[in-house]
Structure 1
Amino acid sequence: MRGADLINTKLPADIVACIFLRIAGSKSDCDAFSLVCRRWLAIDRSFRATIRIGGSGRADEVVSLLVRRFSGLRNVCIDERLPVSSVHQILPYPSRSRSKRRRLNSSSGDHHLIKSSVAGESEFEQFCLTDVGLSSLANGCKALQNLCLIWCPNLTSSGLNSIAENCKFLKSLDLQGCYIGDQGLIAIGQNCKLQDLNLKFCEGLTDTGLVGLARHCGRSLKSLGIAACAWITDVTLEAVAFHCSSLETLSLDSELVMNKGLISVAQGCRALKGLKLQCINITDEALEAVGSFCSSLELLALYSFQRFTDRGLSAVGNGCKNLRDLTLSDCYYISDISLESVARGCPKLKRLEINGCHHIETFGVENIGKSCPELLDLALLYCPRIRNSALHEISKGCLHLQALDLVDCSNIDDEALCSIAKGCRNLKKLHIRRCYQVGDHGVISVGENCVSLTDLSLRFCDRVGDEALIAIGQGCPLQNLNVSGCHQITNAGITAIARGCPGLICLDISVLQNLKDIALAELGEGCPILKEIVLSHCRQITDAGLAHLVKGCTRLETCHMVYCPSVTSSGIATVISSCPSLKKLLVEKGKVSERSKRRASSILSYLCVDL
């Protein structure tokens, strides 16, 4: 009946709460729910489980306010890198008076002044999250399960002690960039059955803290990340090996860890499934231990290794039969010999990335194609010695390939791309950068055969022209397209994309010197859900073209248009006024009018402050 509030008068609170829980996965839906009435606002506050805020500004006051309003929080992320304005956007104030809102907005403005001022470090630090705010969070959120504190430098062991004493259900803790001491970490281990721990850039920690944590909660720990912790050595890894038998994931970036520590982990953590290493002192001996003892390993990532050879990687290939994800980045002394061992020993491999390993050539990748039929994702980055026949074997043996990434592979040409297009018809993502032998013929074959392709990048492939994009527009439902630096592409190619790919979301057409306003008009008419566009260095684009673009693309959120000499302050104002969802506009500062600065200062970004 019109005018009657049947929901609130007939339905009990627990039923309304059940309805709310069904939509609780979307923050925008939760916000809309809370604005209906005070009763629904109270339900939202009691059931809201997740929140993410900035850690700067008057963070302690904001956290105190949050825990009073949202009593059921279980997942909290406080990130010092977030802008201050994002803190206030999460707070619904339907019941506040106008005067209170004005006072809040005034306070928010003060925060911006603080962020942009050149005050001394001591003055700035008083506006960061401290132990006081962390204690408020601990006292107000007893059911906290996941806590993420990113780059909060004023926190100490005292605040972490409060979390340990009050939040007994804590399972995940991320302390990236926090100067937390040993005693706080030991307290967490004594009071919480922690499962996931990230300690990247925690310079205040030593072996004492991690050994204490491992001793008390090692049985529950499943994931551990350590990076740039200057006082963490093999002593910690030996304790992890002894106490953390259930550890499944280890990420380690350290110059102090030697073979002894990693060998201990391999021997003691037999359930290890994921291992990411950037340790310059690790040699073949440690990788041989991984191959011998970690038979359950599914993911291995090796970064910047200068002291291990084919011997170590071959041991992994022979022993880790369940390996599914392998990354080799800047590993200078491995070659086709070890990649052949991986191919033969790990037939379940689904993802392979080879980045800057200059001794890996065609033969190694050919063996992957012959022996790994389940491969879904292949990235060959900075591999100048790999030739067409490698991709021929991939196209014949890896029929389910969904993603291919090629960067600076100078010997790959259209012939190889045609083979991939015809053999791997399930391809969804194709990224090619600076492969100067790839041209229209190969891309046309992709357009004719890969009907599921949604993500295409052809950056600085200067032999690709309009014919390639016409074929893509006719055959592929693209959502993301990057043709930056493809100088032969003109209005005809972009028009074909605009007419053939109405679901386009992200587009980079920067450094296209032959692009004119007619292309932007076609995009405005044909791509109504476009959210991101990069137009930088398009010298023939004018204010008129921008007006046509934003007339149809009203959902635009990000726009880059630096070094477009024919775009003026008027065009910039048109973009700002026509796109209510705009979050970032990258321009030259000198082109922005004072009115646009006042109206959209929070979304404006400047590549160069003074030109």
Structure 2
Amino acid sequence: MRGHDRINTCLPDELIVEVFRWLDSKTSRDACSLVCKRWLALERLSRTTLRIGATGSPDLVVDLLARRFRNVHTVHIDERLNISLPTHPGRRRGTDIAAVLSVRLHSSNGSDDGVLDSNSLSDAGMTAIGDGFPKLEKLSLIWCSNVSSIGLISLADKCKMLKSLDLQGCYVGDQGLAAVGQCCKQLEDLNLRFCEGLTDVCVVELARGVGNSLKSLGITACAKITDTAMEAVGLHCKSLENLSLDAECIHNKGVVSVAQGCPALKSLKLQCINVTDEALTAVGTSCSSLEVLALYSFQKFTDKGLRAIGKGCKKLKNLIVSDCYFLSDNALESIATGCKELTHLEVNGCHNIGTLGLESIGKSCPRLTELALLYCQRIGNFALSEVGRGCQFLQSLHLVDCSSIGDEAICNIAKGCRNLKKLHIRRCYEIGNKGVVAVGDYCRSLTGLSLRFCDRVGDQALIAVAKCSSLQYLNVSGCHQIGNTGLIAIARGCPQLSYLDVSVLQNLGDMAMAELGEGCPNLKDIVLSHCRQLTDVGINHLVKSCTMLTSCHMVYCPGITAAGVATVVSSCPNIKKVLVEKCKVSPRTKRRAASVISYLCVDL
């Protein structure tokens, strides 16, 4: 009955909190918290994750949030992300965080130095995190450059349940990380990317302290961390499963120590220019549980290393080799022969790998689901034809600058891999209508298609693809032969389309936009840049029905004027980004939607 509060009088706190936990978005939870004071308090108790971007006074933000949300387990602070303060922060009841910040930021009493220092999280903020979130399990500090060992020591002493710590870009010292090793005995995941102040000392102490629990370790661009640290990891961290190393100061000795001391290793990602076949041989001999191997920019190892991997790592599922110039077809043949469970393969810029190597993968790895070939000039049609015959479960194919691959290969992939869901092709100039038509005819489960700068693809291809009614992502930028006919077919056949990039299509006009507006109501992102025949008329038809649109890029479209830009802004309630030239934004549009307008060019 009207006027009776049946929810608050009948439901206990525990049940309402449980309902809040099932809400799938922060917006929904925020809306519930505004119903009444009781719901506000209960929603605060149910909140377990906080994400904080760059603010004028992060220490104050952390302190205020800690008072409101006592059961938080996860805190992400990323000072690369800018968050604007509300224009009218004083409208909400009670003590508003933005209002307090506004007073703090615009106070004329503070010195310039004080304002500068407040722009980054400091040790005081770390103390506030430790005091306010005693149940903290996961902490991510991204580019918090003012945090030092003092703050990390304070946090480690109070957050003993910490399981995951990300210190990317933080200039902490050895003492802080050593304290984490001494206090946080449940630590499982540690990321030390771009922590330039750390040395072997802290990693050795950390390995001794949390060796029994540590499962994942990432080290990138830490010039003072050497083989000594890796030897300690190999000696103490017997449960280590994931290791990512990007360091010039680590040699064979360090990697061999980890391989021999961490038999449970499942994922290994290396970008270490001084590592050779000796290290990979040790991995192949000792890490029989390895499932993921990524090798980047190796100039000192050859096929011998991958032969050892193929011989010893029978459980390998994911292999990435990038810019490894001395690998040849023999390396892939060894992987194909030994690693029958391979599901993901990426070959990027390995110029000595050709058709024979990939052909062996097609013959011997029937479980392959994802294949990416980037800048592989020597791989030809026959290799992909063999993949089409042998890998019927393939779901994703990514080709970039593979000049020897043409329609024949794509036709064989389409006929043999009918479960294909994603096909991304860029600058493969031998691929044209014939191959893409085959995809449309045979791969009816296709959800994503990208044909960037494939000059031989035209309307005929899109007419065939329109049979894939599940298509959600389409990028045909730079395919000059595509015009209204192809896009109209897509609009009529693919109602689930949510992303569309038709930039640099000179033959595309308003008729296609009208059809897209009628047939694709779920469209959220569209890129129309450099389409010279589009006008405000087409834009009006598009946004009339595509009310879910969140981003629209339309730079260098001479037929679209300030009126068209205003139409997009006013007709799309969910719009978050409109990319246009500055001269096409009227003062009124700028006043109404300054936060969503982005400019390609700025005044010099």
Q: Which residue of 2 aligns with 1:242?
A: 235
**2: distance between equivalents of 1:528 and 1:291?**
52
Q: Which residue of 2 aligns with 1:348?
A: 341
- 2:160 maps to 1:161: no
Summarize the Cα distance change of 1:368–1:120 in structure 2 as closer, same or farther, 3 Å threshold.
farther
- 2:554 maps to 1:555: no
- 2:121 maps to 1:132: no
**2: distance between equivalents of 1:294 and 1:183?**
32
Q: Which residue of 1 aligns with 2:467?
A: 474
Q: CA deviation at 1:423?
A: 0.4
Q: Which residue of 1 aligns with 2:457?
A: 464
SS in 1 for 2:507: coil
Q: Which residue of 1 aligns with 2:42?
A: 43
SS in 2 for 1:507: strand
Q: What is the one-letter code of the residue matched to 1:380?
A: L
Q: What is the one-letter code of the residue matched to 1:342?
A: I
Q: Which residue of 2 aligns with 1:11?
A: 11
- 2:136 maps to 1:144: yes
SS in 1 for 2:397: strand
**1: distance between equivalents of 2:99 and 2:112?**
26
**2: distance between equivalents of 1:241 and 1:268?**
4
Q: Which residue of 1 aligns with 2:383?
A: 390
Q: Which residue of 1 aligns with 2:172?
A: 180
Q: Which residue of 2 aligns with 1:490?
A: 483
**1: distance between equivalents of 2:530 and 2:245?**
41
Summarize the Cα distance change of 1:245–1:283 in structure 2 as closer, same or farther, 3 Å threshold.
same
- 2:219 maps to 1:226: yes
Relative to the length of structure 1, the TM-score reads 0.95
Q: Which residue of 2 aligns with 1:56?
A: 55
Q: What is the one-letter code of the residue matched to 1:134?
A: M
Q: Which residue of 1 aligns with 2:94?
A: 96
Q: Which of residues 598, 601, 604 is equivalent to 1:608?
A: 601
Q: Tell me if structure 1 keeps the 8 A contact 2:252–2:279.
A: yes
**1: distance between equivalents of 2:592 and 2:100?**
19
- Residues 470-518 of structure 1: CA distance to partner in whole angstroms, max 9, x if unpaired? 1111234210000000000001111111111111111100000111111
159-168 vs 342-351, greater mean Cα deviation: 159-168
**2: distance between equivalents of 1:92 and 1:583?**
24
Q: Which runs of 5+ in 1 are unaligned?
A: 112-118
1:189-228 matches, within 5 Å, as: 189-192=181-184, 193-228=186-221
Summarize the Cα distance change of 1:121–1:355 in structure 2 as closer, same or farther, 3 Å threshold.
farther
SS in 2 for 1:51: strand
**2: distance between equivalents of 1:104 and 1:504?**
43
**2: distance between equivalents of 1:385 and 1:102?**
58
**1: distance between equivalents of 2:580 and 2:372?**
33
Q: Which residue of 1 aligns with 2:248?
A: 255
Q: Tell me if structure 2 keeps the 8 A contact 1:149–1:174.
A: yes
Relative to the length of structure 2, the TM-score reads 0.96
**1: distance between equivalents of 2:44 and 2:299?**
53
Q: CA deviation at 1:28?
A: 2.6
Q: What is the one-letter code of the residue matched to 1:173?
A: L
Q: Which residue of 2 aligns with 1:359?
A: 352
Q: Tell me if structure 1 keeps the 8 A contact 2:86–2:98.
A: no
SS in 1 for 2:529: coil
SS in 2 for 1:321: coil
Q: Tell me if structure 2 keeps the 8 A contact 1:172–1:194.
A: yes
Q: CA deviation at 1:523?
A: 1.1
SS in 2 for 1:555: coil
SS in 1 for 2:398: strand
300-309 vs 535-544, greater mean Cα deviation: 535-544
Q: What is the one-letter code of the residue matched to 1:489?
A: I
Q: Which of residues 381, 406, 413 is equivalent to 1:420?
A: 413
Q: CA deviation at 1:7?
A: 1.3
504-513 vs 466-475, greater mean Cα deviation: 466-475
**1: distance between equivalents of 2:539 and 2:103?**
36
70-79 vs 7-16, greater mean Cα deviation: 7-16
**2: distance between equivalents of 1:19 and 1:610?**
50
**1: distance between equivalents of 2:367 and 2:359?**
15
SS in 1 for 2:466: helix
1:526-565 matches, within 5 Å, as: 526-565=519-558
Q: Tell me if structure 2 keeps the 8 A contact 1:51–1:75.
A: yes
Q: Tell me if structure 2 keeps the 8 A contact 1:226–1:253.
A: yes
Q: Tell me if structure 1 keeps the 8 A contact 2:57–2:105.
A: no
Q: Which of residues 422, 434, 438 is equivalent to 2:431?
A: 438
Q: Which runs of 5+ in 2 are unaligned?
A: none
**1: distance between equivalents of 2:114 and 2:37?**
41
Q: Tell me if structure 1 keeps the 8 A contact 2:90–2:99.
A: no
Summarize the Cα distance change of 1:272–1:237 in structure 2 as closer, same or farther, 3 Å threshold.
same
48-57 vs 498-507, greater mean Cα deviation: 48-57
SS in 2 for 1:178: coil
Q: CA deviation at 1:573?
A: 1.5
Q: What is the one-letter code of the residue matched to 2:477?
A: S
- Residues 207-259 of structure 1: CA distance to partner in whole angstroms, max 9, x if unpaired? 11111111111110000000011111111101100110100000000011011
- Residues 295-350 of structure 1: CA distance to partner in whole angstroms, max 9, x if unpaired? 10000000011111011111111110000000000000000001100000000000
Q: Which of residues 508, 511, 518 is equivalent to 1:525?
A: 518
Q: CA deviation at 1:577?
A: 1.3
Q: What is the one-letter code of the residue matched to 1:138?
A: G
1:289-304 matches, within 5 Å, as: 289-304=282-297
Q: Tell me if structure 1 keeps the 8 A contact 2:136–2:162.
A: yes
Summarize the Cα distance change of 1:124–1:570 in structure 2 as closer, same or farther, 3 Å threshold.
farther
SS in 2 for 1:129: coil
Q: What is the one-letter code of the residue matched to 1:313?
A: L
SS in 1 for 2:425: strand
SS in 2 for 1:153: coil
**2: distance between equivalents of 1:273 and 1:102?**
45
- Residues 176-219 of structure 1: CA distance to partner in whole angstroms, max 9, x if unpaired? 11111111111111111210000001111111111111111111
